[in-house]
Chains A and B, each alone.
Chain A
Amino acid sequence: GNSVTQMEGPVTLSEEAFLTINCTYTATGYPSLFWYVQYPGEGLQLLLKATKADDKGSNKGFEATYRKETTSFHLEKGSVQVSDSAVYFCALSVDYGGATNKLIFGTGTLLAVQP
């Protein structure tokens, strides 16, 4: 079946530290991969995506590269800010050929950035 595994949190960092949140997946077919973010008191928002192997998604200083050989999509940022404090969800969707693609989420990783 299709599933996503991401590192457990919380992850606590000081401002300007380097961030990595690991995500690996299992999928039949050819998944698209996503990172969603949930800021306190807000709904889930798409942060970045990659639709095929070796694609790199990027947004707001965050990056993730779709690695088919290691079935991974790790999220990275070179210098985190207090405003990046949120819960980060890795997700996948699989194209079954014409039908809409429901998202399958990991359990989420809480990031807390301290000033």
Chain B
Amino acid sequence: GAGVSQSPRYKVAKRGQDVALRCDPISGHVSLFWYQQALGQGPEFLTYFQNEAQLDKSGLPSDRFFAERPEGSVSTLKIQRTQQEDSAVYLCASSLVAVTQGELFFGEGSRLTVL
């Protein structure tokens, strides 16, 4: 597609449920990032992939968060046993090059609400 596509756009989960958020980056983009954006805050880095390799997962807040990109294109962010503090917009971004210099293309985000 023309841009980064994320699904679902909105997700409501009961506390304790598992959720999976999908990101379709721009075709051919090497780098893929996940960010978490709490209400009224700026995006915060979660994890980074270069092709299928997860090179940096230092921002994942707990071991309930897991991300994968098995074929170097589509990526999934999984959150197990969701908690209320997980409520946020999850942003995916991609870049054509491996060393991005900060120029990323963002999707519209997946808004997760945990009740």
B66 at the interface (CB under 8 A from A): no
Stretch of A12-20, A68-76, A97-105 with 4 or more beta carbons under 8 angstroms from chain B: A97-105
Asked if B45 and A104 make an inter-chain contact with CB atoms under 8 angstroms apart, the answer reads: yes
Total interface residues on B, using CB and 8 Å? 29
Total interface residues on A, using CB and 8 Å? 28
Q: How many A-B residue pairs have CB under 8 A?
A: 73
List B residues at the A interface (Cβ < 8 Å): 3-4, 31, 33, 40-45, 48, 50, 55-56, 59, 91, 93, 98-109
Closest to A42 in B: B108
Known: A43-B107, A45-B106. A107 touches B99 (CB 8 A): no
A34, A42, A44, A95 — most chain B CB neighbours (10 Å)? A44
**Residues of chain A with a CB closer than 8 A to B42's CB:** 4, 89, 91, 105-108
